[in-house]
């Protein structure tokens, strides 16, 4: 999802933009580049289809339709924490799928539908709005599942389902910072429209977590860099750089405080509005150190399994393509072991661009060596 946005990486190549080439361009940006294209509110704009001549896609097609390109699906499929978790959930819990009607919301290549079909589902409806739906149809056929899986090309919000109700809704909707891209709304829409009363949503729990890190070196490289660029003062860009949460992997050694649960969402019950919230946090230092940033990450779980299953995208777990989300602080906080950095985090969809997320962080510490109280605004886009 535009989770799948390219971002800097501080791993092997020393903070270079290793993944910039795989950058997921977003169709909402059309206005900004002054392109006159009718843009649909779907991660894969139908506009792209009209521009495809024969089978040839132009770069403009992909600009507006990142999920139509196989690269993004390759990245997701190769994220083994993600894909194996879904596979294990499905194959180890046949009882959830055997003879059931399944709806795969945002099917992509159809991988989850194939797992479900193999686990004995009676029928799987795989909905996908990008051009990848055509590939999914072919993949389903090649693998001999045409009788069990029906791929429907279109937006979940617009298509007609051949059945009134489904027993299972499965989806991999999570974005960076869990909520970026706002695909959760699509899952909730499908749930309210088609899920049978005793039906299940997979996954059914998602939680957002927060911790604090020492990150002097990388903050210097990403933020202070603008102070002196080949001898010129470009510090006006610093403000913007500070406001943009950085999607990147954080080393567990950088963690200074405890990790705190911010918010749990029950996908089977919640409403769309529950994805906007203000929650308090209290981060207690586990050693004397400096804090440069707060780091958010999410966990998802499948509580309807025989045994609880799920995965974490936290810095102490095996890394995933979601990495973590780093929010740099204006202040360098000098914190002593046992002291608390406390505050609130507000998360809301941007009013103009509901796929963007506004985050407000209020934090304060009244410590031995640091007294700070501040409010910072961030925007994920």
Residues with catalytic annotation?
Answer: 172, 181
Per CB under 6 A, 61 contacts ligand SAH: no
Per CB under 6 A, 210 contacts ligand SAH: no
Output 13 or 91, the one with its CB closest to ligand SAH.
91
Can you tell me which of 156, 188, 201, 250 binds ligand SAH, judged by CB under 6 A?
Answer: 156
Among the listed ranges 93-101, 122-130, 287-295, 354-362, the one in contact with ligand SAH (CB under 6 A) is 122-130
Q: Report cis status (omega within 30 of 0) of the bond before 66.
A: no
Q: Could you give the CA distance from residue 123 to residue 120 in angstroms, rounded to a whole number?
A: 9
DSSP 13: T
Per CB under 6 A, 67 contacts ligand SAH: yes
Output 68 or 257, the one with its CB closest to ligand SAH.
68
Can you tell me which of 107, 114, 140, 267 binds ligand SAH, judged by CB under 6 A?
Answer: 107
Can you tell me which of 8, 106, 199, 343 binds ligand SAH, judged by CB under 6 A?
Answer: 106
Q: Could you give the CA distance from residue 221 to residue 241 in angstroms, rounded to a whole number?
A: 11
Output 8 or 106, the one with its CB closest to ligand SAH.
106
Q: Could you give the CA distance from residue 108 to residue 172 in angstroms, rounded to a whole number?
A: 10
The DSSP-derived string for 197-214 is EEEEEES-EEEEEEEEE-
Cβ at position 262, least distance to ligand SAH in Å: 24
Per CB under 6 A, 127 contacts ligand SAH: yes
Per CB under 6 A, 76 contacts ligand SAH: yes
Cβ at position 354, least distance to ligand SAH in Å: 12
Q: Could you give the CA distance from residue 341 to residue 257 in angstroms, rounded to a whole number?
A: 9
DSSP 28: G
Tokens found for residue 139:
């993949």
Output 41 or 337, the one with its CB closest to ligand SAH.
41
Per CB under 6 A, 184 contacts ligand SAH: no
Q: Could you give the CA distance from residue 157 to residue 174 in angstroms, rounded to a whole number?
A: 18
Output 72 or 291, the one with its CB closest to ligand SAH.
72
Among the listed ranges 107-115, 142-150, 231-239, 291-299, the one in contact with ligand SAH (CB under 6 A) is 107-115
DSSP 3-state of 26: coil
Among the listed ranges 40-48, 55-63, 115-123, 212-220, the one in contact with ligand SAH (CB under 6 A) is 40-48
Cβ at position 285, least distance to ligand SAH in Å: 38
Helix, strand, coil distribution of the chain in percent, nearest 5: 25, 35, 40
Q: What angle do CA 330, 336, 340 make, to 5 degrees?
A: 70
Per CB under 6 A, 114 contacts ligand SAH: no
Per CB under 6 A, 203 contacts ligand SAH: no
Can you tell me which of 2, 28, 167, 172 binds ligand SAH, judged by CB under 6 A?
Answer: 172
Output 37 or 77, the one with its CB closest to ligand SAH.
77
DSSP 3-state of 51: helix
For 264, list phi and psi in degrees, rounded to 5: -115, 140
Three-class HEC string of 115-138? HHHHCCCCEEEEEECCCHHHHHHH
Provide the b/e sequence for 34-70 (b: ≥16 CB within 10 Å): eeebebbebbbbbbbbeeeeeeebeeebbbbbbbbbe
Can you tell me which of 19, 25, 43, 64 binds ligand SAH, judged by CB under 6 A?
Answer: 43
DSSP 3-state of 58: coil
Number of chain residues interacting with ligand SAH (CB under 6 A): 23
Cβ at position 44, least distance to ligand SAH in Å: 5
The contact set with ligand SAH (CB under 6 A) reads 42-44, 67, 76-77, 106-109, 111-112, 127-130, 132, 155-157, 172, 183, 186
């Amino acid at each position: 999802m535009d989770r799948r946005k390219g971002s800097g990486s501080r791993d092997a190549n020393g903070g270079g933009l290793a993944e910039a080439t795989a950058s997921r361009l977003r169709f909402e940006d059309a206005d900004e580049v002054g392109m006159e294209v009718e843009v649909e509110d779907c991660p894969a704009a139908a506009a792209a289809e009209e521009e495809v001549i024969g089978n040839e896609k132009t770069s403009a097609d992909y600009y507006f339709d990142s999920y139509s390109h196989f690269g993004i699906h390759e990245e997701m499929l190769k994220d083994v924490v993600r894909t194996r978790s879904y596979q294990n959930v499905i194959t180890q819990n046949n009882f959830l799928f055997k003879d059931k009607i399944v709806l795969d919301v945002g099917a992509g290549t159809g991988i989850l539908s194939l797992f479900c079909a193999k686990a004995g589902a009676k029928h799987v409806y795989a909905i996908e709005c990008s051009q990848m739906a055509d590939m999914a149809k072919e993949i389903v056929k090649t693998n001999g599942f045409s009788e069990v899986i029906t791929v429907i090309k279109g937006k979940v919000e617009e298509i007609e389902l051949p059945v009134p109700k489904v027993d299972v809704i499965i989806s991999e909707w999570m974005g960076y910072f869990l909520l970026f891209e706002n695909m959760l709304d699509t899952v909730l829409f499908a749930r309210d429209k088609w899920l049978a009363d005793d039906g299940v949503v997979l996954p059914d729990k998602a939680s957002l977590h927060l911790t604090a890190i020492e990150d002097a070196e990388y903050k210097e490289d990403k933020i202070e860099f603008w102070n002196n660029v080949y001898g010129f003062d470009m510090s006006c860009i610093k403000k913007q750089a500070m406001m943009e949460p950085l999607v990147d992997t954080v080393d567990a050694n950088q963690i200074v405080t405890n990790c705190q649960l911010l918010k749990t969402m029950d996908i089977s019950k919640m409403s769309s509005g529950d994805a906007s919230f203000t929650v308090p946090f209290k981060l207690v230092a586990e050693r004397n150190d400096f804090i440069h940033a707060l780091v958010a990450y999410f966990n998802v779980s499948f509580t309807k399994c025989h045994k609880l299953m799920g995965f974490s995208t936290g810095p102490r777990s095996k890394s995933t393509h979601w990495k973590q989300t780093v929010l740099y602080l204006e202040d360098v906080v000098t914190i002593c072991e046992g002291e608390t950095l406390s505050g609130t985090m507000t998360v809301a969809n941007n009013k103009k661009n509901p796929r963007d997320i506004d985050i407000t962080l209020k934090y304060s510490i009244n410590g031995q060596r640091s007294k700070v109280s501040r409010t910072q605004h961030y925007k994920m886009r």
